[in-house]
Structure 1
Amino acid sequence: MTQLLQGVADDMAAYRTLLDLLERQFYAAIRHQQEELGQLAAEIGALVDTMETRRAARVELATRLTGANPSMTQVFALLRPEARTRLEADWQALERMVLAAKDAGKRNGELLAEQYTIMQRVLHGDNQTYEPA
């Protein structure tokens, strides 16, 4: 249980870092800072890999604690009221950070895709242009 609780706390810290990195990525994209974008992509990738490892460990720990098809609700039920309340609050905060990171990642991806599309039009012309016969 201690490992599971520590993993949630570690993920909360990691998501704060991830949200900061995604914000920096957005502004680097706006400013067309390619080198910065590359560095941020590497940092984001490494952080996401670490969080995925922790998520898999959390599922394994929850399975050991509650059996097959674990849920956090089942894990919450194993705790004393004070600890349960704290973990539930931390879990809700973590879920909000996950959603915020997904939104920021989507925003950044859309910006980068739009920039790529514009650059392709500039370099190769717009093959969708209507040409009268």
Structure 2
Amino acid sequence: MTARTPAQVLHEARQADSRDKRARVLATVADMESRHEPVTFTAVARAAGVSNWLVYATGIRERIEQARERQKALPRHELEMGRQASAGAMQTDLALAREEIKALRGERDQLKAAGAATMIVDTGCHAVMASVVDLCSKATGAR
């Protein structure tokens, strides 16, 4: 057996380190998917403790993109991201909207009634004023 050179030892160590980091990235992606956490390149790099460059490397990038596509296809993912409301949330919103409409209709009816009463008073005041003017003009004309 021939002795390995320091360059060979270093090369093998780098290869082993690279395999370890790639394995950590792939395990992190699988873990994030299983916990329904959003899989992003930055989040994967942070969680795996690797550089951003590595998550964009050939072979890794494709796996992350596949995980992202799988997450987009999940209805639960849509719910968690707030893109789609649940049936319960929509029923609650509908009930609140109905209550608000009911209150607004009541307020509208009160304002209509108050407006009608004001018109009656205004019309009555105009009639009284017209009578006063008429009486005043007759009184000054009679002198």
TM-score range, shorter chain: 0.3 to 0.5
With the length of structure 1 as denominator, give the TM-score of the two structures.
0.41
With the length of structure 2 as denominator, give the TM-score of the two structures.
0.38
Larger Rg: 2
